[in-house]
Structure 1
Amino acid sequence: MADAVHGAGAMPGAEGPGVAVLALLVAVGSLIATAVALSKLAAAAGAPMLGYLAAVWLGAGLILAVPVTLRRGVSGLGRLVPYGFGAGGLMALPSAMGYLSVVHVGAGYISLTFAFPALFTWLIARGLRMQAVRPGQGVGVLAGLAGGMLLASGKLAGSGGPDGGAVWVALASAIPVALALGNIFRSRYWPAGEAPLTLAALSVLLGAALVVPAAAFSEGNALARLWQEPFLLLLTLAGALTVAAQYLLQFRLQQTAGPVYMSQIGTVAAVAGALIAVLALAESLPAFFWPAATMIAAGTVVFHRAAGRSRA
């Protein structure tokens, strides 16, 4: 599907919130929330989490690579390797942060951190002059950041146990910054004329390659559990399918709508993730959830309305 736009479509950085783009936004956000929930189940089952991440991404990359090699072969992929390592590394980093901390802070909190990359992406894009000045968006950024700080403070208040809970909250809270850097990198250095599917496959595979050595060094023999235990094997396969679908659609969305609009998938992921965490994983909502969620929602609305006025 994505290769149909090879060499065509809007360049990264363009913004166009049509029906198709909104559908992609909802789909990608929901897939992110699903991947987070699967990682929580894997962690609860005792999976080596860096190994789980590497296996899921390796599987997802291979799934995406099949149609790429069938349609275009491997010719010319060598010149894309630097981009793939950069994009893959900036995609794998926040995933590793989430997979390692999810068992300590919960899938709901990890999902809620995805509400903030749009704010950081906008700030970075403004600093790099990739984004035009849009009056009112700064107010949305500040409101969303205030909600995020309130949410993190509520989580920190309940994490002061001897297991180093505050460290895991801090690690999880840093995920949006890493995600925002990835959003900017993928658009700013997108190779001209390359299809989203090709770049998604290469980035996921090379991201997995960066995680494998760390997993082998830190988790060693425990990695065998991923294929020896049927439940963990099932979760790994489900995670690979979910991540493959996520990045196939996410790269297409980024090509069409640009990094700032694309980063709004986080809002969908935050809502879907909170619902999954409460309804399916029996988690409780963090302290200050509702006032923080209200501030985040208000900031998002202001952000979108300011963008809409600028496009009008």
Structure 2
Amino acid sequence: MADATNCAGALPCASGPGLAAPFLLVSVGSLIATAVMLSKLAAAAGAPMLGYLGAVWFGAAGLLFLPLVFGRGPLGVAGTLHYGLGAGFLMIVPSAMGYLAVAHVGAGYISLTFAFPVLLTWLIARGLRMDGARPGQGAGVLAGLAGGVLLASAKLAGAGGPGGSVYWVMLATAIPVTLALGNIFRTRYWPAGARPLPLAAFSVLAGALMVLPFAALTEGGRLSLLWQSPELAGLTAAGAAVVAAQYVLQFRLQALAGPVYMSQIGGVAAMTGAVIAVVALGETLPPMFWPAALMIAAGTVLFHNAAAKRRR
């Protein structure tokens, strides 16, 4: 962990995130943005989105379990299962929100919502005494929040059209709350001695099993599209690979650097996702994108500078 204040419960602590943490930060943020892009393509191809989410996560869980089954095997199954239920719920809920809203608000906006959780994570961690005060860190998270509020308010102001677009913008904007709670839960209740890979595998499997019944109930007549359409089958397979890679690295980052540092993946996902949405999907940048992006970038720099000074 970056310092002792980030260590909670049984979570393994390191002397500092070093160079591995920034690498994981960029990698996970980029994978999140890629997963959002794939979900937008799936929505455009007519996928039942809860079914697509469940299939992607079920496939990702299978990929994560492969090295456990054929390698050393999962450790501490009982504690891991209990942990996986809570973590899986707090991971699948924001994903479901994003997958359902992406066709209405765009992949760029969904990606940008990932820049918001850092303040919420930091406030909760401070309240639970999981993270110590650092001079300048509060200014960083407030700058990032200001950028997020500016972006969301501009998006809401332009969402007066038909199709309940205001509802979808509000749903997408609520994603950071569950993301922040998930960041805290995964650190605070990390089982003693558990490794990141088994926790990631059980959590992703739990999330898949939670969403699939809702998919069957609401989209039962359309689920066959996921394997009957070659395009959707390919997008599902690609999504499973991306989600598996995302969570194995994300849980490693959580163990290494703690919830507040890890929440910085949102800024990477936000900027990467916005670029992908414009270049690959032909979306237009959300209103007030550049002022918001500058605020988010400035907040990220302030946050990392404060953390570096604390370590020194």
TM-score (norm 1): 0.94
Name 2:5's counterpart in structure 1: none
**CA deviations over 1:159-178 (Å, ceiling 9, x no partner):** 11121111111111111111
**Is the partner of 2:71 in helix, strand or coil?**
helix
Deviation at 1:221, TM superposition (A): 1.3
Name 1:228's counterpart in structure 2: 228
Name 2:289's counterpart in structure 1: 289
**Is the partner of 2:285 in helix, strand or coil?**
coil
Contact 1:12/1:188, CA 8 A, preserved across alignment: no
Range with greater deviation from structure 2 (220-229 or 12-21): 12-21
Range with greater deviation from structure 2 (41-50 or 136-145): 136-145
Distance 2:277 2:296 in 1: 19
Range with greater deviation from structure 2 (117-126 or 49-58): 117-126
Distance 2:13 2:272 in 1: 26
Name 1:51's counterpart in structure 2: 51
Contact 1:12/1:258, CA 8 A, preserved across alignment: no
For residues 117-156 of structure 1, the aligned pairs below 5 Å read: 117-156=117-156
For residues 247-286 of structure 1, the aligned pairs below 5 Å read: 247-286=247-286
Structure 1: which amino acid aligns with 2:90? L
Contact 1:115/1:264, CA 8 A, preserved across alignment: yes
Structure 2: which amino acid aligns with 1:202? F
Structure 2: which amino acid aligns with 1:274? A
Structure 2: which amino acid aligns with 1:256? L
Distance 1:190 1:213 in 2: 27
Matched, 1:181 2:178: no
Distance 2:306 2:75 in 1: 44
Contact 2:271/2:293, CA 8 A, preserved across alignment: no
Deviation at 1:230, TM superposition (A): 0.5
Deviation at 1:80, TM superposition (A): 1.9
Contact 1:14/1:258, CA 8 A, preserved across alignment: no
Structure 2: which amino acid aligns with 1:255? A
Contact 2:121/2:260, CA 8 A, preserved across alignment: yes
Task: Provide the aligned C-alpha RMSD in A.
Answer: 1.5
* Cα pair distance change 1:31/1:75, threshold 3 Å: closer
Q: Which 5+ residue runs of structure 2 have no aligned equivalent? A: 1-9
Deviation at 1:77, TM superposition (A): 1.4
Structure 1: which amino acid aligns with 2:179? L
Name 2:3's counterpart in structure 1: none
Matched, 1:219 2:219: yes
**CA deviations over 1:105-139 (Å, ceiling 9, x no partner):** 10001111111222211111001110001122112
Distance 2:264 2:148 in 1: 15
Name 2:244's counterpart in structure 1: 244
Name 1:79's counterpart in structure 2: 79
* Cα pair distance change 1:41/1:99, threshold 3 Å: same
Contact 1:12/1:187, CA 8 A, preserved across alignment: no
Contact 2:79/2:191, CA 8 A, preserved across alignment: no
Q: Which 5+ residue runs of structure 1 have no aligned equivalent? A: 1-9
Aligned residues: 303
Contact 1:144/1:296, CA 8 A, preserved across alignment: yes
For residues 188-199 of structure 1, the aligned pairs below 5 Å read: 188-199=188-199
Deviation at 1:79, TM superposition (A): 3.2
Structure 2: which amino acid aligns with 1:222? R
Distance 2:233 2:124 in 1: 39
Deviation at 1:261, TM superposition (A): 0.8
Name 1:5's counterpart in structure 2: none
Distance 2:14 2:270 in 1: 24
Deviation at 1:267, TM superposition (A): 1.1
Distance 2:297 2:307 in 1: 15
* Cα pair distance change 1:13/1:270, threshold 3 Å: farther
**Is the partner of 1:258 in helix, strand or coil?**
helix
Distance 1:50 1:233 in 2: 15
Contact 1:21/1:256, CA 8 A, preserved across alignment: yes
* Cα pair distance change 1:263/1:15, threshold 3 Å: farther
Contact 2:76/2:194, CA 8 A, preserved across alignment: no
**CA deviations over 1:2-51 (Å, ceiling 9, x no partner):** xxxxxxxx945767342222111111111111000000000111100000
Range with greater deviation from structure 2 (144-153 or 16-25): 16-25
* Cα pair distance change 1:297/1:304, threshold 3 Å: same
Deviation at 1:212, TM superposition (A): 0.7
Structure 2: which amino acid aligns with 1:279? V
Deviation at 1:282, TM superposition (A): 0.3
